[in-house]
């Protein structure tokens, strides 16, 4: 489905939702839950926190939907709320305390297995799977070590593969600032990942 028809479908669902069709909101959630969850996971580096923030994002969307003015794509608006929710969550005291106690390695096995991160090989051997997970852990750790503003830009651009236009819409930053943050972030990541890649 191309971008235009996705936006048209979103608009229809939003209007149905505003007209009282509860099912329309559920459809919006189902359309975007994986993308929002993925974004939250990359921004937070923690499965439970990502689940929590992704749910919170949709609750906020539900509440604010009557005030959505269709001035941007719904997905941009949704991502913006998700990014802000994650940033608020990361700065909360509870999150920092938890981070001190539980590292990414502490992510429980069940949660990890349910991540279902795609890889080129659909049937990896145990060794390949182990290696993939290790690479993923190192990448996530490197992302986690970035300052929040750079992390958001990196995740939106390099993980979610959004356009610069979309990123400026989501972050509220201008194009030059986005590129500058991205450049600095990549430089830091290169220092951490050069041996890995």
The nearer residue to other proteins, 64 or 97, going by C-beta atoms, is: 64
Least distance between other proteins and beta carbon 109 (Å): 15
Least distance between other proteins and beta carbon 146 (Å): 13
The nearer residue to other proteins, 13 or 152, going by C-beta atoms, is: 13
The nearer residue to other proteins, 97 or 196, going by C-beta atoms, is: 196
The nearer residue to other proteins, 99 or 184, going by C-beta atoms, is: 184
Least distance between other proteins and beta carbon 101 (Å): 22
Least distance between other proteins and beta carbon 169 (Å): 10
CB of 26 closer than 8 Å to CB of 13: no
Least distance between other proteins and beta carbon 79 (Å): 10
CB of 75 closer than 8 Å to CB of 10: yes
10 Å CB burial of residue 28 (0-12, 13-18, 19+) is buried
N-term to C-term CA, the chain:
33
DSSP 76-144: HHHHHHHHHHHHHHHHSHHHHHHHHH--GGGS-HHHHHTT----S-SS--HHHHHHHHHHHHHHHHHHH
The nearer residue to other proteins, 149 or 158, going by C-beta atoms, is: 158
The closest of 90, 99, 6 to 56, measured between CA atoms, is 90
C-alpha 126/C-alpha 161 separation (Å) is 29
Least distance between other proteins and beta carbon 193 (Å): 7
C-alpha 111/C-alpha 47 separation (Å) is 7
The nearer residue to other proteins, 87 or 102, going by C-beta atoms, is: 87
């Amino acid at each position: 489905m191309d971008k235009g028809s996705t936006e048209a479908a979103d608009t229809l669902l939003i209007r149905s939702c505003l007209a009282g069709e509860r099912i329309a909101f559920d459809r919006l959630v189902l359309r975007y839950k994986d993308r929002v969850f993925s974004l939250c996971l990359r921004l937070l580096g923690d499965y439970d926190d990502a689940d929590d923030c992704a749910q919170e994002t949709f609750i906020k969307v539900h509440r604010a939907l009557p005030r959505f003015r269709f001035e941007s794509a719904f997905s941009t608006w949704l991502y913006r709320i998700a990014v802000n929710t994650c940033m608020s969550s990361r700065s909360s005291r509870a999150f920092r305390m938890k981070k001190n106690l539980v590292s990414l390695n502490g992510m429980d096995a069940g949660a990890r297995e349910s991540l279902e991160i795609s890889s080129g090989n659909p049937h990896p051997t145990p060794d390949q799977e182990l290696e993939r997970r290790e690479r993923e852990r190192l990448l996530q750790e490197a992302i986690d070590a970035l300052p929040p503003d750079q992390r958001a830009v990196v995740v939106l651009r390099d993980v979610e593969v959004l356009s610069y236009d979309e990123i400026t819409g989501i972050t509220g930053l201008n194009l030059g600032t986005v590129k500058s943050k991205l450049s600095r972030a990549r430089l830091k990541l290169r220092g951490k990942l050069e041996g890995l890649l």
